[in-house]
Amino acid sequence: MAETNILTALGGIVRRDLLLAARRKSDVLTTLFFFVIVVSLFPLGIGPEMDMLRKIAPGVLWVAALLATMLSLNRLFAADYADGALEQMALSAVPLGVLVTGKVIAHWLLSGLPLTLLAPVLGLQFDLAPASLAVLVVALAIGTPVLSLIGAIGAALTLGVRGGGVLVSLLVLPLYVPVLIFGAGAVEADITGLGAAAHLSLLAAFLALAAFFGPWATTVALRIALE
């Protein structure tokens, strides 16, 4: 019965955040437009040098996805903190870690998943082969949840702090570097024929660690912010 209540609460917080986001479509669209614009500027600036475009494609796509994800981190808990909903969540019978997990899942569905689905379309501008585009999608599907989980910790630590948007960037960027390296490296390894399995395996390991420690660390940070 307890497991059923936890799953119900988890699904409820995900649905709630998705419904709230549906009322503020501009927040979601801003992230997507930023991703599209940043990625598209490089082919326009470099010109039709296909060899060069293929070399820079993994890094450009991953950096753009990372920066686009960071745009929405400041809004992860801010609204609930401002209207008192976060305090009610902390006092509810459901463990706060479960509710945090639900909010992180909703954040990924609104930011990471659209970026993952849009990336192969933008990758065509860089003349990437279908196999490399498939690796790109898999790498983003594994790596973007890690970005959301790590970003939630930074958003919780800077909750209620003036200039929190800048501070959260400084906190999470160093932690994003390994994900960026192995995510872009997976696509680059496939392009050069070395195979992407090792890089994807390391990304999966990062995801497992982030999924285990991320909600706990975020919960601790939120409780400190609410005191």
Q: Is the pLDDT of residue 165 over 70?
A: no
Of 51-55, 126-130, 164-168, 192-196, give the lowest mean pLDDT range: 164-168
Q: Could you tell me the pLDDT band of residue 13, with boundaries at 50, 70 and 90? A: confident
Q: How many domains, the chain?
A: 1
Interval 46-100: pLDDT, tens: 877 888 888 888 899 999 999 998 888 877 887 777 777 778 877 777 778 888 8
Residue 2: the pLDDT is 55
What pLDDT score does 5 carry?
72
Q: For residue 182, what pLDDT band results from cuts at 50, 70 and 90?
A: very high
Tell me the mean pLDDT in the region 120-147.
Answer: 91
Residues in the chain, total: 227
Predicted TM-score of the model (pTM): 0.90
Confidence band for 157, pLDDT divided at 50, 70 and 90: confident
Is the model's pLDDT at 4 over the cut of 70? Answer: no
Top pLDDT among 95 and 139 is at 139
Cα separations in angstroms, 55 against 66, 77, 79, 104: 19, 38, 41, 33
Q: What tens digit of pLDDT does each residue of 201-225 get?
A: 999 999 999 999 989 999 988 888 7
Average confidence score pLDDT of the chain = 86
Which of 79, 91, 72 has its CA nearest to residue 144?
A: 72
List the structure tokens of 155. Answer: 């958003």
DSSP 121-176: HHHGGGT--HHHHHHHHHHHHHHHHHHHHHHHHHHHHTTT-TTHHHHHHHHHHHHH
Domain of 140, in residue numbers: 2-226
Distance set, CA 84 to CA 1, 78, 87, 88, 94 (Å): 29, 10, 5, 7, 17
CA distance linking residue 135 with residue 120, whole number of Å: 10
| Confidence (pLDDT) at 156 | 86
Longest dimension (CA), the chain: 60
**173 Cβ contact partners less than 8 Å away, ≥ 6 residues apart:** 70
Q: What is the pLDDT of residue 199?
A: 92
Q: Which residues of 181-190 are buried (b: 16+ CB within 10 A; e: fewer)?
A: ebbbbbbbbb
